[in-house]
Structure 1
């Protein structure tokens, strides 16, 4: 047999194997009865294409609208948008492991609280819990308020620069301000000192590197998913990417080392971490990996929600007016704001919930892997090794779960009888208990209370001090790419100072 004959035979064998595998995937595979595009049952290529285009969120939403509450979008991948799936996937007493390839891998090889194994997660969560508890957060409130004041000062400086004598308002770009505020707050909590972004009104090389890493997430997911690509990538990883990952990690690690070396009297995160036992303490490497996680998960997600909330409120001026009235009737000055009093503002809380629903910072589902032996999900037996997730954006924008799902209606979260008049009976939402923006179960977001207090504090300060109107150029701002996180465009608003009550 000649070489050409051998190649031809090998190609024929490969083609037969592919055809037989494809036939099996769409006919006899344990997931073959579940709905979804036939090509997705054969290969993950359609998913990878949408992920690299930044269109995964809207693609899954469209497919769920077409196929229903469960969707097979890969040979071994299922997406759900039902409330029961949250409990069965994320709240199962026999905790399902996170997909090991999901997310950017840590530069020092030590997985963070978000991606570590089940047992380590339980241990670390007990250790971090005091720092994120209500008691711990009340101790940290002065740190939050210090940066809230700095954020207000920055907006006032921008107004002073842009105001004209003929106009009471000026155009101000807000997404950068929210990013500066959230990064300064989290840096202060993690390292005992802010990054100084609000003071300088300028980003830093480290923050810029974080945004670059976000855009690398699709590549990381693709590489880590396949054994061959993972082996080749780690052997031949481009030096420019190695440098970005190393520089990003070193920014965090150096600050952690300095914080440990010098200590602190401020009630930051590390001062409140509690050892789980006499020999169970966080290693320095674990502290560095988790600080890197906090500087991503506790910053841009909050800035994203704040940007989206202001945007949607400006699109619905009557909702913005209701919120302004509530805040200004409760607080005369920003110094009056507090975690406790803001948490009692019913319409503010309803607006935040609706912002998280219509523009969730984590819009995709974090996959879990079915354990060996399989399990029952939504009354359907799912084999071991299958990857399951709840697609948050698709779930929250589905008419199966929410009436008028694409409309910003905070009243849907108010008790019946307390709601303001709306065009739709939102208390008839078919399945509002599908709403879990901070995930569900034992691995839900540890920083949930921190995020909500920070959002309420910043929103309270903004509405006590300023009026907002969306600039024409920012209409349609919500049409964004998503690489596991939204890639936000600048958000421009006309801002005018509110006259002091004193």
Structure 2
């Protein structure tokens, strides 16, 4: 018996020693012999992807990258097989190059086992879905959506007025919550033909509440998929609560999609929302280019992609305005000087205000919704927006909110504005850019015209928050008082 146990212990020790030796040799290879060994960066990050994974799972990845680029320069090795860039030329070199494919590791087995969508790593599939959805994001489509967008923003302002009236001329609201309510309601209307009524009710639909957990789930799966073949086991380590929320999201998405699709099939919609655009594309081609399963996959994606990113951008913009009274005053002067009444503020008129656009761009530079890049593959290479937008190599006073840098006669003429690509570049550029800009312009203008704003508590730098694909946004409590203008 003891002899058998001794043999087993001996075999186990040999196995452990062998594994340890393989790991040590791999680490030494990564540091001293790997083809990327000459690129600058910390040895610990170059040795193993575990360091990258820890940063991703801690929510501090964007800040770590900023620190690394500040120390090592425009190109940093952030994993054994990954490089991060912040120089402007990298946008075109990486994302504008058709010979550099999209990273499939983040998607892992998910794309193999589920219907594919506009975010597919397969270029033909991506292009087919992108063409089918384009009709929902044209200028004409946005004009068709105008009354819906204006009504929802107007309803939010009305709810603020009601709170102000009940608060004897003052109201304290959390603009992070309310911008989430607004953009998810818009996304619900454009994805499934009906709002979630979050703005109307003044509280989050459960779908809004799971958005951060959804991002954490994606980040965790992205990390796990790098450790093949262990990923087949590690994915079961996904927290139960996250899995339940993701399953809940899929269930509601499926039910709402069936309702919207059935309405389209029966001829009850026909508008240029997301489903309508794809159905019209199929009809125009005379065949089913995008099957029902892929349409549903797109809706499940767009409900978050079309809402979380825009609400984050608005939160970043408002955060910076509250920290920068001079910029807020200048924005108030432009908006209040351009309109005589709130009813004059609509999608067409607000698109003509240059300082509004400059504020939006500068706010997104300070707090980019997509702070973490999805790498492209030669090795893994990417331009990460947060360190690129906050780098002194690209922007003067990079941590200061100066919207004028995006206007003619900029006080910082040496700024590398070509480093600023918040909607990405190339064939995978955000399809919803025009819609997002429309929502942000309209929301800012109406809010600024109607109310004077003041921070109700200390407002930290937006970048101090954690990010797990989506930002883990903290409350933004703001005092609102009816404008005397």
Q: Does TM-score exceed 0.5, indicating one fold?
A: yes
Residue in 2 that maps onto 1:204: 205
Which of these residues, 400, 417, 420, is aligned with residue 407 of structure 1? 400
Question: Aligned-pair distance for 1:265?
Answer: 5.1
**1:248-284 superposed Cα distances (whole Å, 9 cap, x missing partner):** 0121121111012123254423223323722243222
**C-alpha spacing 1:14/1:394, structure 2 compared with 1 (3 Å):** same
Q: Is the 8 A contact 1:110 1:285 kept in 2?
A: yes
Question: Aligned-pair distance for 1:197?
Answer: 0.6
**C-alpha spacing 1:339/1:259, structure 2 compared with 1 (3 Å):** same
Structure-1 separation of matches of 2:311 and 2:23: 46
**C-alpha spacing 1:191/1:208, structure 2 compared with 1 (3 Å):** same
Structure-2 separation of matches of 1:387 and 1:154: 47
Structure-1 separation of matches of 2:270 and 2:44: 58
- Establish whether residue 92 from structure 1 lines up as the match of residue 97 from structure 2: yes
**1:422-464 superposed Cα distances (whole Å, 9 cap, x missing partner):** xxx41122x2211100011000100011100110011111111
**1:338-362 superposed Cα distances (whole Å, 9 cap, x missing partner):** 3332222111111111011011111
Question: Aligned-pair distance for 1:369?
Answer: 1.3
**C-alpha spacing 1:28/1:104, structure 2 compared with 1 (3 Å):** closer
Equivalent residue runs for 1:381-460 within 5 Å: 386-416=379-409, 419=410, 425-429=411-415, 431-460=416-445
Q: Is the 8 A contact 2:211 2:308 kept in 1?
A: no
Equivalent residue runs for 1:366-381 within 5 Å: 366-370=374-378
Structure 1 runs not aligned, ≥5 long: 371-385, 420-424
Q: Is the 8 A contact 1:40 1:74 kept in 2?
A: yes
State how many pairs are aligned: 473
Structure-2 separation of matches of 1:448 and 1:396: 18
Structure 2 runs not aligned, ≥5 long: 1-5
- Establish whether residue 300 from structure 1 lines up as the match of residue 305 from structure 2: no
Residue in 2 that maps onto 1:489: 474
Q: Is the 8 A contact 1:159 1:172 kept in 2?
A: no
Structure-2 separation of matches of 1:475 and 1:235: 36
Residue in 2 that maps onto 1:11: 16
Q: Which has the higher helix share?
A: 2
Structure-1 separation of matches of 2:43 and 2:22: 18
Which of these residues, 463, 470, 483, is aligned with residue 455 of structure 2? 470
Normalising by structure 1, report the TM-score. 0.89
**C-alpha spacing 1:293/1:401, structure 2 compared with 1 (3 Å):** same
**C-alpha spacing 1:333/1:253, structure 2 compared with 1 (3 Å):** farther
**C-alpha spacing 1:229/1:6, structure 2 compared with 1 (3 Å):** closer
Question: Aligned-pair distance for 1:469?
Answer: 1.0
Q: Is the 8 A contact 2:198 2:205 kept in 1?
A: yes
Structure-1 separation of matches of 2:87 and 2:444: 31
Residue in 2 that maps onto 1:285: 293
Equivalent residue runs for 1:329-348 within 5 Å: 329-348=337-356
Normalising by structure 2, report the TM-score. 0.92
Question: Aligned-pair distance for 1:400?
Answer: 0.4
Q: Which moved more, 1:478-487 or 1:232-241?
A: 232-241
Which of these residues, 356, 365, 380, is aligned with residue 373 of structure 2? 365
Equivalent residue runs for 1:8-407 within 5 Å: 8-102=13-107, 105=110, 109-161=114-166, 163-164=167-168, 168-233=169-234, 240-262=241-263, 263-264=268-269, 266-273=271-278, 274-275=281-282, 277-370=285-378, 386-407=379-400
SS at the partner of 2:161?
helix
Structure-2 separation of matches of 1:267 and 1:101: 31
Q: Is the 8 A contact 1:334 1:460 kept in 2?
A: no
Question: Aligned-pair distance for 1:475?
Answer: 4.5
Structure-1 separation of matches of 2:105 and 2:116: 10
Structure-2 separation of matches of 1:393 and 1:238: 28
Question: Aligned-pair distance for 1:303?
Answer: 0.9
SS at the partner of 2:396?
coil
Question: Aligned-pair distance for 1:63?
Answer: 0.6
Q: Is the 8 A contact 2:41 2:78 kept in 1?
A: yes
SS at the partner of 2:210?
helix
Q: Is the 8 A contact 2:178 2:199 kept in 1?
A: yes
**C-alpha spacing 1:238/1:407, structure 2 compared with 1 (3 Å):** closer
**1:304-329 superposed Cα distances (whole Å, 9 cap, x missing partner):** 11111112112111111111111112
Residue in 2 that maps onto 1:480: 465
Q: Which moved more, 1:342-351 or 1:232-241?
A: 232-241
Structure-2 separation of matches of 1:34 and 1:464: 51
SS at the partner of 1:439?
coil
Question: Aligned-pair distance for 1:478?
Answer: 5.0
Residue in 1 that maps onto 2:3: none
Structure-2 separation of matches of 1:104 and 1:206: 25
Question: Aligned-pair distance for 1:466?
Answer: 0.9
